[in-house]
Amino acid sequence: MKTYICEICGDAYIGEERPSECPFCGARHNFIKNGVEANPITVQPVELSNRSKKNLETTIGLEMKANATYLCMAGKAQTYEIKAMYKRLAKVELEHANIACKLMKSAMPPAGTETCSDADVENFAETVKLEEVATNLYVQFAKESEERNVKIFFTALAQVEADHIQLIKKIN
């Protein structure tokens, strides 16, 4: 067993092999380092520009909304597999909000509630829409970031949300 650390969320994964994605924030394997080598973006000191502060605040709102939406979808899911998938997606999005709060040095906002459909197929379509909005926004935010760790954060997040679209499209 070894300790691997995700440089995006800073969480440790303990196992025999490096996971293909971070189990906590979904970051791709290239962000997961051997424990001793890891330098997580959330522990690097950074002075945030006003632009980055604004973009991170938008991110926190979007991720909290996604968290509440996916919890609603988990509650309505027709199969245990879909329920478990949405519960995991909800946790991943909550972790994204948590990382943005760490970069901002701010407290997590209270969880809200969102509505969703009773039909899985409609929730899949809504999920793809949400994730497309997030992916495009994070690509733009990555370009706008002057701080190295904020740029890395948005680059990693854009990939994670794009991976979520692929996940949903495979179910359909």
Contacts with Fe ion, residue ranges (CB under 5 A): 6, 8-9, 22, 24-25, 27, 63, 93, 96
As a whole number of angstroms, the distance between CA 95 and CA 66 comes to: 11
Rounded to the nearest whole angstrom, what is the least distance from the CB of residue 157 to Fe ion in the complex? Answer: 6
* CB nearer Fe ion, residue 52 or residue 70: 70
* CB nearer Fe ion, residue 25 or residue 72: 25
Give residues with Cβ within 8 angstroms of 116, minimum separation 6: 69, 72, 73, 76, 123, 126
Helix (H, G, I), strand (E, B) or coil at 32: strand
φ and ψ of 2, to 5 deg: -140, 160
Rounded to the nearest whole angstrom, what is the least distance from the CB of residue 53 to Fe ion in the complex? Answer: 18
Helix (H, G, I), strand (E, B) or coil at 3: strand
Number of residues written out for the chain: 172
* CB nearer Fe ion, residue 33 or residue 51: 33
* CB nearer Fe ion, residue 93 or residue 120: 93
Rounded to the nearest whole angstrom, what is the least distance from the CB of residue 23 to Fe ion in the complex? Answer: 8
Residue type at position 32: I
Rounded to the nearest whole angstrom, what is the least distance from the CB of residue 164 to Fe ion in the complex? Answer: 8
